[in-house]
Amino acid sequence: MAASTAVTAVSYGASRLPPSRTALAINSRRLSIFSPSKRLDLSNLRRRVNAPPPRRAVVRAARTESAGVLLGARAPNFELQEPLTGNLWKLEDFELYPSLLVMFICNHCPFVVHLKKDIVKLCNFYMKKGLAVVAISSNSVVTHPQDGPEFMAEDAKVFKYPFPYLYDESQEVAREFGAVCTPEFFLYKKDGRRPFELVYHGQFDDSRPSNNIPVTGRDLSLAIDLALSCQPIPSNQKPSVGCSIKWHPETES
C-alpha cells in the first residue's frame, strides 16, 4: 500500500515537469525520482514501516519506606498554616478527639497521586465516626516548586480535602514526627486527658502505582477501626512506601 501511494505522488509531481527534467525508474530493488532535489528510497521506507513501535516511557519514582518511629511515641506539638484558608492549626486543636491521623503528603509524588481520591473517601468516612485528620506537606519548594503553598491550596480545592492541608515550610515538623516519605501515616490514640500516643505507623494498603493491586485502604482502615473501638492494634505493621521527603538542599542529610 505504501508503494502505491508513492507512485501516485510521483505521478502528480511528474505531470507538472517536462520529461527531460524528471525520470521515473522502477526496478525490483528501488523506486526513485531522479530530479535535482528529490529522491525517494523505498528500502528506507520499508525499514520505517517494519520498525517496532516506540516504547512507552515509564516514570519510576525513588522508593522510600517509613521507619524509625516507635509505637507509643507522643504526637509532637506543631503550629502550621493552612494555605487554602490562611488558618493556623495546632496539635491542641484536636485534643477533644479520641484518635488523630497525621498524614505527610504532597502534590506531585506518584505514590500520593495514586491514593488521593481514596484517601479522601477514607477520611470522609471516618471523620464522621469521630476521627480527626490533618495532612502536612514538608517538601522543599526550592527543589519542587509544584509543592508550594499556592499549589497546595489548589490541590485541596480540586480533591475537596475534608481535612486541613498544612504547609511545613521549615521542615521542622516533619523532623519532629520522624517522617521520611510521602505518603506516610501516623495514627494516634488518646485516653481521656492523656497525650496522643502513636498506635499505627504503616501503609495505606498493598497497592502501588505500578503493581495493579486495587486500592482498598485495608491496612489503615483496620487500624482506625480498632483505635476508635478502643481495641489493641497489632504491632506487626507494613511500612508505608513512597517518595522521599524533598529536604531543603542546605539541610539535606
Grid coordinates belonging to 156 = 485541596
Three-class DSSP category at 230: coil
Buried b / exposed e across 109-119, counting CB within 10 Å, b at 16+? Answer: bbbbbbbbebb
pLDDT at 208: 96
Q: In what order do the strands lie in the sheet with 184-189?
A: 88-90, 79-81, 165-167, 131-137, 99-104, 184-189, 197-200
pLDDT at 241: 95
Three-class DSSP category at 248: coil
Beta bridge partners of 102: 134, 186
Buried b / exposed e across 33-52, counting CB within 10 Å, b at 16+? Answer: beeeeeeeebeeeeeeeeee
Taking the C-alpha atoms of residue 136 and residue 155, their distance in angstroms, rounded to an integer, is 13
For 33-75, the pLDDT digits (tens) are 334 444 445 455 445 445 554 443 333 446 777 777 899 999 9
Tell me the mean pLDDT in the region 218-227: 98
Q: How confident is the model at residue 131 (pLDDT cuts 50, 70, 90)?
A: very high
Higher-confidence position of 253 and 89? 89
For 166-195, the pLDDT digits (tens) are 999 999 999 999 999 999 999 999 988 889
Higher-confidence position of 40 and 121? 121
> Do 166 and 134 touch, CB atoms closer than 8 A?
yes
